[in-house]
Amino acid sequence: MKDLIEDLFENEVHIESNFLIVKESGSSVNQTQTNGIFSEKWLKYDDEVDNPQYHKFQEDWYLKLYGFDTKEHLASFLQTKKVILDAGCGLGHKTAWFAKMAPNSIVIGMDFSEAAFRAANRFKNIPNLFFIKGDISQTELKNNSIDYISCDQVIHHTDDPIKTFEHLSNISKSEFSCYVYAKKALPRELVDEYFREYSKKLTKDELWEMSDGLTKLGKALTELNTKFVAPDIPILGIKGGEYDIQRFIYWNFLKCFYNPDLEYGDSLCINFDWYAPSNAFRYSEKEFRKMISDNNLDIIYFHQEEACYSGRFIKRS
Ligand SMILES: C[S@@+](CC[C@H](N)C(=O)[O-])C[C@H]1O[C@@H](n2cnc3c(N)ncnc32)[C@H](O)[C@@H]1O
Domain spans, the chain: 2-183+282-315, 186-275
In this predicted model, what pLDDT tens digit does every residue of 255-280 receive, in sequence order? 999 999 999 999 999 999 888 898 99
Percent of the chain with pLDDT over 90: 90
Q: Which residues contact 189 (CB under 8 A, 6 or more apart)?
A: 183, 237, 282
Q: pLDDT value at position 1?
A: 82
Q: Is the pLDDT of residue 47 over 80?
A: yes
User: What average pLDDT does this structure show over 138-143?
Assistant: 96
Does the Cβ of 90 fall within 6 Å of ligand 1?
A: yes
* Pocket-testing residue among 27, 111, 262, ligand 1, by greatest number of atoms within 8 A of Cβ: 111
Residue 200: pLDDT band by 50, 70, 90 thresholds?
Answer: confident
Q: Is the pLDDT of residue 25 over 80?
A: no
Q: Residue 208: name the closest of 48, 316, 5, 66 by CA.
A: 48
Q: How far apart are CA 41 and CA 276, in angstroms?
A: 10
Nearest CA to ligand 1 atom 10: 154
Q: Residue 89: name the closest of 131, 138, 58, 32 by CA.
A: 131
User: What average pLDDT does this structure show over 107-113?
Assistant: 97
User: What average pLDDT does this structure show over 304-316?
Assistant: 96
Q: pLDDT value at position 26?
A: 77
Q: Residue 33: name the closest of 211, 180, 214, 158 by CA.
A: 158
Residue 109: pLDDT band by 50, 70, 90 thresholds?
Answer: very high
Q: How distant, in Å, are the alpha carbons of 144, 221, 313 from that of 153?
A: 23, 26, 16
Does the Cβ of 136 fall within 6 Å of ligand 1?
A: yes
Residue 310: pLDDT band by 50, 70, 90 thresholds?
Answer: very high
CATH class entry, domain 2-183+282-315? alpha beta
Does the Cβ of 177 fall within 6 Å of ligand 1?
A: no
Q: How far apart are CA 276 and CA 192, in angstroms?
A: 10
Please give the residue that has the higher pLDDT: either 121 or 22. Answer: 121
**Mean pLDDT over the full length of the chain:** 95
Ligand 1 centre and the CA of 194: distance in Å?
A: 22
Q: pLDDT value at position 2?
A: 83
What are the φ/ψ torsions at residue 124 (nearest 5 degrees)?
A: -75, -10
Q: How far apart are CA 87 and CA 150, in angstroms?
A: 6
Q: 83-87 and 146-151 as β-strands: parallel, antiparallel, unpaired?
A: parallel
Q: Which amino acid is at 236?
A: L
User: What average pLDDT does this structure show over 180-194?
Assistant: 95
Percent of the chain with pLDDT over 70: 100
Ligand 1 centre and the CA of 99: distance in Å?
A: 18
Q: Which residues contact 5 (CB under 8 A, 6 or more apart)?
A: 13, 15, 20, 106, 108, 130
User: What average pLDDT does this structure show over 71-87?
Assistant: 98
Q: How far apart are CA 249 and CA 247, in angstroms?
A: 6
User: What average pLDDT does this structure show over 195-222?
Assistant: 94
Neighbour tally for 249: CB within 10 Å:
18
Residue 288: pLDDT band by 50, 70, 90 thresholds?
Answer: very high
